[in-house]
Amino acid sequence: MEQLLTANVASSMYWLGRYLERVELTLREIGKTYDCIIDVDKSAGTALYKKFNIDLEYTNAVDFLDKAIQGNHAGNLANLMVQARENAIISRTNIDASAFGEIIELHDFLQSLSKNYHPIDFNDIDNALSLISEIWGTHGKKGHRKYSDYFLKLGRLVEELDFQLRFNQKSDVLKTIIKDINAMIKVLNPEMRLVVDDEENMMETIYKTIDKLIVN
Chain residues binding another protein by CB under 8 A are 2, 4-11, 86, 89-90, 92-93, 97, 100-101, 104-105, 108, 147, 188-189, 213-215
Task: Tell me the angle at which helices 147-167 and 202-213 cross, rounded to the nearest 10 degrees.
Answer: 170
Sort residue 53 into left (φ over 0), alpha (ψ -120 to 50) or beta: left
Q: Is 64:37 a contact under the CB 8 Å cutoff? A: yes
Residue among 100 and 163 whose Cβ is closer to another protein: 100
Give the integer Cα–Cα distance in Å for 134 and 141: 10
Residue among 56 and 104 whose Cβ is closer to another protein: 104
Residue among 43 and 112 whose Cβ is closer to another protein: 112
Task: Tell me the angle at which helices 147-167 and 171-188 cross, rounded to the nearest 10 degrees.
Answer: 160
Q: Name the phi and psi angles at 140, rounded to 5.
A: -75, -10
Residue 113 C-beta: closest distance to another protein, Å: 17
Residue 87 C-beta: closest distance to another protein, Å: 10
Give the integer Cα–Cα distance in Å for 48 and 161: 17
Residue 61 C-beta: closest distance to another protein, Å: 32
Give the integer Cα–Cα distance in Å for 13 and 41: 38
Residue 34 C-beta: closest distance to another protein, Å: 29
